[in-house]
Amino acid sequence: MNTQTENIGAADLFKRSVLEGFSLNNQNLTVPSVLVSLASAFVLGLVIYYVYKKTYRGVLYSHSFNVSLVMLTMVTAMIIMCISSNIGLTLGMVGALSIVRFRTAVKDPMDTVFMFWAIAAGITVGANYILYAIIGTLVIAVLLFLMTLLASKAGENYLLVIHHDERASKDISGVLAKVPHVKLKSRSVTRNGVETTYELRLPQQRANLADALLRVPGVFDATLVAFQNEIA
């Protein structure tokens, strides 16, 4: 009998503490605090927007995806503020979000990282930890800029497609010997000539290589295409 009474008392105490916590959060949720949180989320979203634009190294930059990062930060903050103020709304929101499925394919793994960064910043701001959100966002931004700077010094990855005569193969190998990272991907031989594809890493002065190849006797054309995969 005493054990059952203690269990009921513990359950009531836990339920009361949860309800009091939500009631306290609801009292702190005022119009000025909501505006401050949304403004903070917007500013942090702009920081993420700027970092994504400056550190993007893919083939096709998507402005709409970058803008969606700003909106994702604000929407996440708004959701967290709402569910932290009402326990019934919290349970309903969890049930509603559990049936949502996003089927848009993310082509670059870094895009997923930026999405999680925007969500994390929105959650932190919505939970009223604005200072932590600012510190975390600035630290991540600095680290991304440093890694991008180091990667840019190493060069950018490209696919080089060359149409040439068979007799020009030796001279082409001599030109490519000056490139530090070169990997043969394919070689197609026809009666009209040879098509050779290389995977390589080049510094910023990448146009000079195509010009040098066009000066080789027997080379018909040389095409450089941006390539995202890393060369081992």
The residue segments making up the domain with residue 162 are 155-226
Query: Are the C-beta atoms of residues 193 and 163 closer than 8 Å to each other?
Result: yes
Of 122, 153, 184, which one is at a domain's C-terminal end?
A: 153
Residues 6+ apart with CB under 8 A from 193: 163, 164, 165, 166, 220
- What pLDDT score was predicted for residue 94? 57
The pLDDT of residue 48:
95
The tally of domains found in the chain comes to: 2
Last residue of a domain, one of 153, 176, 202: 153
Asked whether residue 165 falls in the same domain as residue 82, the answer is no
Whole-number pLDDT of residue 60 = 76
Task: Provide the 10 A C-beta neighbour count for residue 127.
Answer: 16
Q: Are strands 181-190 and 156-164 parallel, antiparallel or unpaired?
A: unpaired
Distance CA 196, CA 178 (A): 17
197: left (phi over 0), alpha (psi -120 to 50) or beta: beta
Element (H, E) at 137: helix 130-154
138 and 50 in a common domain? yes
For residues 44 and 137, is the Cβ–Cβ distance under 8 A? yes
One domain for residues 54 and 138: yes
24 inside domain? yes
pLDDT at 232: 44
Amino acid in position 163? H
* Cβ 231 vs Cβ 156: under 8 Å: no
Q: Is 7 among the domain residues?
A: yes
For helices 109-126 and 31-55, the axis angle rounded to 10 degrees is 160
pLDDT tens-place values along the chain, 232 residues long: 445 444 455 556 555 655 555 454 444 668 888 899 999 999 999 999 999 998 887 767 888 889 999 999 999 898 888 777 665 555 555 555 555 555 666 677 788 889 999 999 998 998 889 999 999 999 999 999 998 887 766 667 788 888 888 888 888 888 888 777 788 888 888 888 888 888 887 765 555 777 788 888 888 888 887 766 544 4
User: What confidence tens digit (pLDDT) does each residue in 105-130 have?
Assistant: 667 778 888 999 999 999 899 888 99
Of 153, 188, 209, which one is at a domain's C-terminal end?
Answer: 153
Contact partners, residue 72, CB within 8 Å, separation at least 6: 45, 115, 118, 119, 122
Tell me, yes or no, whether 193 lies in a domain.
yes
Q: What angle do CA 157, 64, 155 make, to 5 degrees?
A: 15
pTM, two decimals, is 0.66
Say yes or no: 133 and 187 in one domain: no
Say whether both 145 and 208 belong to one domain. no
The CA distance from 17 to 20, in Å, is 5
Provide φ and ψ at 188, rounded to 5°: -120, 125
